[in-house]
Amino acid sequence: MNRAALFDVDGTLADTNHLHVTCWWEALRQGGHDVAMHDIHRAIGLPGEDLLAHLLGEDRDTDQDDTLTSAHDTLYGTYFDRLPPLDAASDLLRELDRRGWRVVLVTSAQQAELDALRRAVDADDAITATASADDVEEGKPAPDPVHHALVLADAPARGSVLADAPARGSVFVGDTVWDMRAGSRAGVACVGLLCGGIPRGDLEEAGARAVYRHPADLLAHLGDSPFADTAGLGR
């Protein structure tokens, strides 16, 4: 039975959340919207359209969505060649891969951004597949991206995209309440990381079974983490 180790990327494996905050703030400012950075930070992790709905309301002028998103993407693209990985992110993925976990990234990033993030994390040899918001009808906090990731985790082993790794025994690591809600709704164990800037209490309330400071902290405590609880990693 395959075990899926699912990982969000922004704020979880790469130290990029505050870059997104700055870029969204500037894009919104250019579009005539005065939105506090604190509020933008809380929305990071949602797909672009959902982020704008969360910040500007469902009754906003949606004709402006593409312009705002394009402005964010252009601003954020200037950082592609220097996105900073979080300490030990690649080591964590490789250690889980070495122990038999199938590592799948679960992200809302578009392809060019995802390519830049993967270059920054530099652990492609340990990554089985990537599930993005583009692959499903609803992004996080809906469980769809996590369900799709479970399918991808199992497909290489069984040769079929119709088979999926069991949710029970799989673990989803993320840094936002959207990650925790998506994982919980999909029935997987959720691990929260504080390096994205969201408080411990918020992550726990959203479904985190355990919370660590950053990838290096989780790596140091794998033996008593939910990874051990679900697969006997600590034995």
- Over residues 191-231, the pLDDT tens digits come to 999 999 999 999 999 999 999 999 999 999 999 999 998 75
User: Cα separation of 159 and 45, whole Å?
Assistant: 31
Q: What is the mean pLDDT of residues 85-101?
A: 97
- Quickly tell me which residue has 């505050």 as its tokens: 18
Closest CA to 14 of 95, 96, 115, 151: 115
The pLDDT value recorded for residue 232 is: 47
The pLDDT assigned to 39 comes to 98
pLDDT in tens, 133-154: 788 889 999 999 999 999 999 8
Q: Is the pLDDT at 131 greater than 70, yes or no?
A: yes
Q: What is the CATH number of domain 4-15+83-231?
A: 3.40.50.1000
Within the chain, all domains assigned CATH 3.40.50.1000 are found at: 4-15+83-231
How many CA atoms, within 13 angstroms, populate the side-chain half-sphere of residue 10? Answer: 26
| CATH of 17-78 given 1.10.3430, 3.90.1720, 1.10.150, 1.20.950 | 1.10.150
Tell me the pLDDT tens digit for each residue of 33-43: 999 999 999 99
pLDDT of residue 158: 43
Within the chain, which residue ranges are assigned CATH 1.10.150?
17-78
Mean pLDDT for 171-179 is 98
**The pLDDT of residue 230:** 72
pLDDT of the residue at 185: 96
